[in-house]
Structure 1
């Protein structure tokens, strides 16, 4: 039987002062940090001070004993970041140049000093650039000339920390006669019949040996002979339980085991979990353009998505538990689709396992983003090898529903002046429209492939045409107010978003000793977007009066209001687009997470703290959503029902004054059929007539859609004027605190209190609130649960409560 020995101990990292202890898996930066050689690059402006690390060569070493009782011993690296030479006992085993691949070397009978000598990624990338010619990209670093995580070279939310290291596990594999070189599971469902077809490649040391494949799942067993170096074994499963995305059904997973046998002797075993489901992507033409609608098990769905970036700029630090925590946060917010963005990595099995279990659909980009990529060698061979390996590696996961060729490169060629600057040089089109779809069609025909995002389906339409395929909406935020989200109805919005700073405690940790201000040195260093603060300021100015007061008060108001603006911006988009289902079939918010503490578009900051946007997503992505949106003749009301049951209830509409007076009201019945949207007309006499008035819609009869307790209501609000023009009363409210395992903070409003927010991390760095922004009418109350607050106190709670205040 194949015997695997992990190589985790005894590694050292060469350094000018001598050898340092090294952690494998790991990277140079984390080893230097652990040894006290460099400061934490996430704090202050230390990132700049450690830039030298990415320009150096580094060597990892350990002693290797490869002897065993087997015929063959292989040295296997699951991931090397990135350009390296592997030397054993003074003999070169080979050179590698791709972070996204694994590597295997025959070391049978060889022992001695093992050295992994990493070149600077800059040196490798710049050498390839000099050989193949420069190509345009969105950032000044040469990331498109090396097969490495692009965002390690910096992004508009990420630091430039170009590391090196043995970033995934390494081991010795001892084996005899034969081993399983590759197992490709094709999982299909036809009516009430499920099939797992395992296509197997075998590597041998004995050509003459008769080999057998035995596969099992549950009580189903099948056997097939190996013909030469390959074979196929099929498992037919009657009436399989179907795997569904969260909110549509359960996520049953089946254990599949495949054993390679020589006679009765097992030689190697492959084990995975699979799920039975069908996935289709409707891209057909219709009266509105070209669709982009997912259907799982025949059920068409509006995808409630988030974009995922690497959760740490040093991915080797992301544990199985951290993946699970972050993805569980997504699921708890109502998310059912996670897009693995193309400037990052193919994630670890832990990521996809969690998605399988949580019912999160995975849209997987191939790692190409925001750049023109050369198609010549040495890159072309690397691209094909990594694609073939990772397509097969990820195939077992039922959560994976789409392969996507790239992020924004087809759009960039058309709109970012690349075509002129390239002057005929290759730029990646051959990958996205040729190589990658061929690899997917050959290896994984059970899943759809898209050439890129955004992409209209062909060059017959602009790549980012909202009427065709996927669309990225970045005029909003970059140049326009979020009200412009309502200007069109894209078929599928794969990227859109609005920035906000991280939580207060995250800033305090990241910028120790700094007097916080929007433009303070540390804040500006942790703002990587071009004119990011300028866009934040202009976005605020359209809606709010400029914060005023002492420097600390001014920052606190700026911090709160920018977070409010982020939540409102994303809400404006999602409410509009969900209300236009089925023309629009999905929204994928940019972005769920961060890789360090930074002002960004994330809903969860770099320390894992949810922003108000996160809590707002729980409302926006609930099965049932009530919306009031501006319209030409008054606000438009829509009841969005993504649940499988009819939504029948009662709807109360109230036209109110900001002083709390009810100026008009009516009650009507509400019916929204499953997976549909019901539009209701707001009576003209209830339409607000000026900035002193607003509209409130409350719907009963759908408690399970919002997560509210039975009898709770869904609410939508419409204020016809920007906050700076609304004559709000001075907010008045009472606060009471009830200690417990989860402390209850109850706020009772005496006036209109708009967008009340308890910033629990201001009470204690580890404190978390279970509620985000909430608007209270006079006399209403809300109870907010706070976990991790060691010394509850009502006066302290009041200091952490913020709301919109009247303009001076």
Structure 2
């Protein structure tokens, strides 16, 4: 059961009330299940629930126990959120103050036969954080919340895309563990491969209940190893050598074979005391930052192959972690793979993800970049934080060592940049801000515990304190001036070595809005819409983007379509530009893949799991073979990028046509793009100089590729679009409907939004430009057939020139 500790902020209907508690879980989800609070994700309910984070909470349960033969019985707490006092039968057994690590308490002396009572009291995260802030002196951060003074998911305290829902609770498993003689306290496999030899250097740490020799036995593939840990010692190392292992590869580069690594601990008499198993993969990973003519590269090599990172940033998929199931993660990973993504960066304001997350990444070949959990703030280095952070980092580096998908540790998100550029130095007045973590403590821990993987002190980071951390020519950079201050065409002014964050906003799907916002009439500034826009001046920035490129929306339906379109165009332009500079630029990580609730944000997949048009644009921009028209040296060029192991040979054409589809000029070239490379072909002057800029465009096509590259000489708001004319038919098929559209005029960025008719509906493509006489087919899947007339009419079927 769950109870609120009495206080003036606690609503009377909850004070002194016992609420059924689900474990794992958090207070919010229990109160929600009991019908005691409104859903914090709907309308502005979040505002009425701030008292939860300022309240102390008590979980209590009674359980039966009978003594056995175990020499030790521990209470194992995999995750407590966050400031907890744990008591058994009225006696305190321990205290915790870090959500990001587990705890284990010896409770054998306190257990009694029959009924036992376990109590976990959680103190208010706000009270704890504010007390440390007052004791140590405030530190700058991006939001007026004390998240940098508690080891807890930072975005619980609100972000420019997230709600303020400051949680408390037993958020991971809790239970008793009985054992004798010794147990495996930690198992840390360091997996390497060189040539035809795979190697597992297995580091084992023991906890003992008896001082006698024990034996660690390990097997993987056909290899076995054994090491005896003598009495009085607690560590051992066993080495396993595997001949000709199949290598694990990122998606798009090869398969993902994995091997069972089994470890058992035995007593001197042969009894099995403990066991541990994981699936590992043999692969090498290194980071190339050798200075070159362009500055300092940032190139990830897997199995000695340089990988162009087609990445997205990952935030917690729900503010309430126990709602993120393995099935939900698998669906999100399918969405990432469907958009041709090969890397997920776990952002430093969230949490270390579940075992399911990393196992699914291993299985599917999605690379993982893991931030240590620091974001957008100056963090104190005094106690108790330094010791907590060291313990947390040691636990997590050890926990994740077995996963081949994990290829990079990063010290923090934007904190070194913040110290340089966000006016921190004067208010800090010499106080600690985290530098010692990022440049000393964390690299030392990774170097000691996980030398098989590279560590990078921050995102962004130039590679040295002598160069500005966000210098485009050195290391990784973030590009946020575009969203905050400039038009998205400014992406073309950057030729970075690696872009670890850049993004552009749009509202979520219409069905997501309608589920979460009850405004009688939706408008960009209606109360619910305004509450679900957390970015500073977010709507003004959306409007600035529309004003620069698109026709004036006549109503909310226009605004919704055009803002989603503008987000997709902005990111597609950025990604294609950066990829066109391969190999100078060797990676882009778009902000962001997912949302944790229904909100206007930078995500490609909204808080209800629906794909925005941006997702479809990412699928095109991240295609293994990309054809794009790019400005170069005062003219235009055709750029072909080949991110496959096979050379790309294909005839290509570039045609300048008018809006009626009539050709004005044309050129043909033979593409010859080696594996993992790009070519740039300057286009002749007669192609790039239109007769009528407002009525012409370039169309580039290569071989039998289904995708084409387009270049418009004017913005949509200036183009003399004909009124949209089309023929549309709807045909039922098993499990859905086919919507076939034939253009009688040019149709710019044609899109279908079937979720407006049924929230379950999905469509397979979006933002298709058709020339007169061309056709395309949309496949719609829904729980029930949709009305054909509504499916082929505004506002479900849209294009730019119907505005």
TM-score (norm 2): 0.96
1:109 offset after TM fit, Å?
4.3
Contact 2:519/2:526 (8 A) holds in 1? no
1:83 offset after TM fit, Å?
0.5
Structure-2 separation of matches of 1:655 and 1:17: 74
Residue aligning to 2:316: 310
1:744 and 2:738 are equivalent in the alignment:
yes
Tell me which moved more, 291-300 or 223-232. Answer: 223-232
Residue aligning to 1:801: 797
Residue aligning to 1:708: none
1:544 offset after TM fit, Å?
1.3
1:238 and 2:243 are equivalent in the alignment:
yes
Secondary structure of 2:700's aligned partner = strand
Structure-2 separation of matches of 1:692 and 1:259: 72
Structural mapping, 1:683-698, within 5 Å: 683-689=684-690, 690-698=693-701
- Per-residue displacement from partner, 1:231-283 (whole Å, max 9, x unpaired)? 11121110000000000000001111100001321000011111000001011
Residue aligning to 1:330: 336
Structure-1 separation of matches of 2:624 and 2:67: 57
Structure-2 separation of matches of 1:806 and 1:691: 17
Residue from 662, 682, 702 that aligns with 1:699: 702
Residue aligning to 1:205: 209
Residue aligning to 2:279: 273
Contact 2:743/2:773 (8 A) holds in 1? yes
Structural mapping, 1:135-150, within 5 Å: 135-150=139-154
Residue aligning to 2:774: 780
Structural mapping, 1:281-360, within 5 Å: 281-360=287-366
Structure-2 separation of matches of 1:254 and 1:479: 50
Structure-2 separation of matches of 1:756 and 1:113: 62
Residue from 155, 170, 177 that aligns with 2:174: 170
Residue from 248, 257, 260 that aligns with 2:262: 257
Contact 2:660/2:771 (8 A) holds in 1? no
1:712 offset after TM fit, Å?
4.1
Distance 1:359 1:619, change over 3 A: same
Contact 2:518/2:528 (8 A) holds in 1? no
Contact 2:499/2:588 (8 A) holds in 1? yes
Secondary structure of 2:169's aligned partner = coil
Residue aligning to 1:707: none
Structural mapping, 1:154-553, within 5 Å: 154-207=158-211, 209-227=212-230, 228-262=233-267, 263-548=269-554
Secondary structure of 1:592's aligned partner = coil
1:42 offset after TM fit, Å?
0.4
TM-score (norm 1): 0.95
Residue aligning to 1:755: 749
- Per-residue displacement from partner, 1:44-65 (whole Å, max 9, x unpaired)? 1100011111111101111144
Residue aligning to 1:81: 81
1:412 offset after TM fit, Å?
0.3
Count of residues paired in the alignment: 781
Structural mapping, 1:588-607, within 5 Å: 588-607=589-608
Secondary structure of 1:18's aligned partner = coil
Structure-2 separation of matches of 1:688 and 1:529: 40
Contact 2:155/2:349 (8 A) holds in 1? yes
- Per-residue displacement from partner, 1:585-614 (whole Å, max 9, x unpaired)? 100000000000000000000000000000
Structure-2 separation of matches of 1:41 and 1:688: 55
Structure-2 separation of matches of 1:330 and 1:728: 34
Residue aligning to 2:50: 51
Contact 2:737/2:785 (8 A) holds in 1? no
1:153 offset after TM fit, Å?
0.1
Residue aligning to 2:41: 42
1:794 offset after TM fit, Å?
2.6
| Structure 1 portions without partners, runs of 5+ | 1-10, 549-553, 701-710
- Per-residue displacement from partner, 1:446-475 (whole Å, max 9, x unpaired)? 000000000111111111000000000000
RMSD: 1.2
Secondary structure of 1:441's aligned partner = helix
1:13 offset after TM fit, Å?
4.1
1:206 offset after TM fit, Å?
1.0
Contact 1:655/1:662 (8 A) holds in 2? yes
- Per-residue displacement from partner, 1:511-543 (whole Å, max 9, x unpaired)? 135311001000000000000000000111000
Structure-1 separation of matches of 2:520 and 2:158: 24
Residue aligning to 2:67: 68
Structural mapping, 1:568-579, within 5 Å: 568-579=569-580
1:659 offset after TM fit, Å?
2.5
1:796 offset after TM fit, Å?
1.4
Residue aligning to 1:703: none
Residue aligning to 1:5: none
Residue from 713, 721, 724 that aligns with 1:731: 724
Structural mapping, 1:100-111, within 5 Å: 100-111=100-111
Structure-1 separation of matches of 2:394 and 2:736: 49
